[in-house]
């Protein structure tokens, strides 16, 4: 039976349930945003195209108005890979755009602190909502960008509705982790043709974290680093993951990774680490050298990308029945194969997948939110003469597979209604979980003493950390009459830790078949010592 929050009793006077704070949504809040760009040349489109080919990071200088606020000397460029090149090849004028507000004026930023505007053109998403809906789901379980919609004008010409996604940058890190220290690595090949024809190196698999050798030169096609010093922790992560996975928790936020893998699986986001291209994520390395994964680029979530490892189209039924343990034995996806070989990690991963399924899929919440988003933008999509797909395609995008060139984009409800029903009955999702209750804590002069009643459990663990932004450390709970546990074998599991090492914590219980986590959305939600 699935653990219910109402069945749990927390009796700790010193601990309170804490969720990451809800930040002011501002530019990424509700409503349709408005962005106006002025570039001082008639042939700006040709010039932007030329820059994209010659130097993808180069920009034209212009002026931008964001919801009426003027920003001078901004930098504008086209962005994206397939969303740019295929749209341009098909002669579409609506191309993905990146605006750097502090391009020339370094102090220039929005009131919210954001300095970059990233606008996507809805490539292979006639619904327009795959990005914002997927991000909304993901933000319940791990740090992820805000995302909404914007009406965009260039030199007074209306280019229609764009998807407006918050950048993963220093501002994002400060907001979610309280620091801009460490290293941010973009895990995406910067040149697909070169990445597929490496010379002088073992054959890689894009940004899969496969071990090739100890030379950064064999990885620089797959991982984008702003600071060369980032290669040291990145290579350490890759080598540990592949050569000594028993030490992986020393260099990787394992729980956040399990959430990333579970989220990609639940919403069939195969244009991701999980899928055939193994990309579209970031790694942020904190000052302890531990990597925290962050999901990025979700326009092909919900089955939008459906090419297998042979680049053949995945049939509808295989998308619907995408296995919870897909790539479990695939050495080319070591984050999956190495992490899930560990029985406890595998049980926690399934517990996370069960939570996502219950929160969003079984109750139809994903559909309610998706339909609300579609309703909000409907009149704007109807008026959008530059969109990549017809208004009829937009209207049918929930219930019909739509064909564009060689791609068949499955309808959102066409996929997810059946997937929700299939997942709910999957044997891995129906195993009996242990229960967690009567969580208590006691502060002595030198220690925190934590106890919990674990029902039908063979073991339990306290995951703790001294503060954000660091990952949690695992400590085994014991049912042996020690550290606040009155009687050995009574189902009361306990642990004692020095006051200085623990500020946040959560509990995991396991039996032979399954695990439970309390709080259910840990480690993004956690218990706090006060």
Q: Are residues 35 and 83 in the same domain?
A: yes
Least confident of 71-85, 222-236, 429-443, 470-484: 470-484
Q: Please name the residues in contact with 481: beta carbons below 8 A apart, sequence gap of 6 or more.
A: 487, 488
> Domain ends where: 166, 187, 219?
166
- For the chain, the 3-state helix, strand and coil shares in percent, each to the nearest 5, are 30, 25, 45
The reply to whether 311 and 182 lie within a common domain is yes
Q: DSSP states of 353-398 as a string? A: HHHHIIIIITT-HHHHHHHHHHHHHHHHHHH-SS-SS-HHHHHHTT
Q: What is the pLDDT of residue 343?
A: 98
Shared-domain flag, residues 87 and 123: yes
DSSP state letter for 336: H
Regarding whether 125 and 10 lie in a shared domain, the answer is no
At residue 240, does pLDDT exceed 50?
yes
Q: How far apart are CA 200 and CA 526, in angstroms?
A: 47
Same domain, 147 and 62: yes
* Per-residue pLDDT at 91: 87
Please indicate, yes or no, if residue 214 is contained in any of the structural domains: yes
Q: Which pLDDT score, from 0 to 100, does residue 20 have?
A: 43
Mean pLDDT of 279-301: 97
pLDDT tens digits, one per residue of 403-432: 999 999 999 999 999 999 999 999 999 999
Q: Is the domain of 357 the same as that of 252?
A: yes
Q: In this structure, what token pair is assigned to residue 52? A: 């994209």
Residues 6 or more apart whose CB falls under 8 angstroms from that of 144 comprise: 135, 138, 294, 295
pLDDT recorded at residue 486: 66
Q: Is residue 320 part of a domain?
A: yes
How many separate domains does the chain show? Answer: 3
Residues 6+ apart with CB under 8 A from 270: 264, 276, 300, 303, 305, 306, 307, 314, 322
What is d(CA 268, CA 416) in angstroms, rounded to the nearest whole number?
Answer: 9
Helix, strand, or coil here: 517?
strand
Looking at residue 529, what is its pLDDT?
84
CA distance 453 to 459: 11
Q: Do 196 and 142 lie in a common domain?
A: no
Domain-located, residue 12: yes
195 and 304 housed in the same domain: yes
Instruction: Say how far apart CA 508 and CA 149 lie, in whole Å.
Output: 39
Q: Answer yes or no: do 348 and 296 share one domain.
A: yes
Q: What is the pLDDT of residue 306?
A: 97
Mean pLDDT of 66-88: 95
> DSSP code of 5?
G
Give the domain extent around 516: 5-19+431-529
Mean pLDDT, rounded, of the chain: 92
């Amino acid at each position: 039976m699935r653990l219910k929050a109402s069945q749990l009793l927390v009796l700790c006077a010193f601990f309170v349930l804490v969720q990451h704070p809800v930040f002011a949504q501002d530019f990424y809040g509700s409503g349709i945003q408005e962005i106006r760009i002025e570039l001082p040349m008639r042939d700006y489109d040709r010039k932007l195209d030329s820059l994209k080919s010659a130097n993808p990071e180069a920009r034209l200088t212009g002026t931008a108005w964001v919801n009426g606020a003027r920003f001078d000397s901004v930098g504008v460029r086209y962005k994206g890979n397939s969303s740019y090149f295929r749209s341009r090849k098909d002669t579409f004028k609506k191309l993905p755009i990146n605006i750097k507000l502090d391009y020339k004026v370094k102090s220039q930023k929005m009131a919210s602190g954001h300095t970059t505007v990233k606008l996507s053109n809805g490539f292979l998403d006639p619904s327009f909502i795959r990005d914002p809906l997927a991000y909304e789901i993901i933000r319940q379980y791990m740090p992820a960008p805000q995302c909404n919609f914007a009406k965009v004008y260039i030199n007074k010409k209306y280019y229609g509705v764009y998807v407006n996604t918050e950048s993963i940058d220093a501002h994002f890190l400060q907001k979610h982790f309280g620091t801009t220290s460490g290293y941010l690595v973009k895990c995406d090949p910067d040149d697909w043709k070169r990445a597929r024809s490496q010379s002088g190196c073992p054959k890689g698999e894009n940004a899969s974290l496969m071990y090739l050798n100890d030379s950064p030169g064999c990885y620089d096609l797959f991982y984008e680093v702003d600071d060369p010093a980032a290669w040291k922790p990145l290579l350490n992560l890759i080598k540990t993951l592949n050569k000594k996975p028993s030490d992986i928790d020393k260099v990787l936020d394992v729980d956040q990774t399990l959430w990333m893998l579970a989220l990609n699986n639940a919403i069939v986001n195969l244009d991701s680490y999980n899928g055939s291209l193994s990309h579209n994520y970031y790694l942020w390395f904190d000052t302890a050298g531990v990597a925290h994964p962050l999901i990025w680029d979700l326009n092909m979530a919900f089955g939008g990308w459906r090419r297998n490892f042979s680049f053949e189209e995945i049939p509808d039924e295989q998308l619907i029945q995408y296995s919870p343990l897909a790539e479990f034995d695939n050495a080319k996806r070591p984050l999956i194969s190495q992490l899930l070989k560990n029985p406890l990690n595998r049980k926690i991963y399934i517990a996370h997948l069960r939570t996502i399924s219950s929160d969003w899929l079984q109750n139809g919440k994903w559909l309610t939110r998706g339909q609300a988003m579609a309703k909000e933008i409907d009149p704007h999509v109807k008026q959008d003469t530059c969109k990549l797909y017809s208004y009829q395609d937009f209207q049918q995008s929930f219930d019909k597979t739509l064909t564009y060139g060689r791609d068949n984009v499955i309808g959102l409800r066409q996929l997810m209604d059946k997937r929700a029903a299939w997942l709910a009955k999957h044997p891995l999702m129906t195993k009996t979980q242990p229960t967690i209750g009567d969580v208590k804590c006691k502060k002595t002069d030198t220690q925190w003493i934590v106890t919990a009643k674990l029902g039908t459990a063979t073991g339990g663990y306290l995951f703790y950390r001294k503060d954000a932004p660091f990952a949690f450390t695992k400590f085994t709970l014991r049912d042996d009459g020690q550290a606040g546990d009155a009687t050995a074998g009574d189902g009361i599991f306990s642990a004692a830790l020095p006051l200085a090492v623990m500020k946040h914590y959560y509990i995991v219980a396991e039996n032979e078949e399954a695990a439970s986590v309390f709080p259910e959305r840990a480690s993004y939600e956690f218990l706090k010592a006060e």
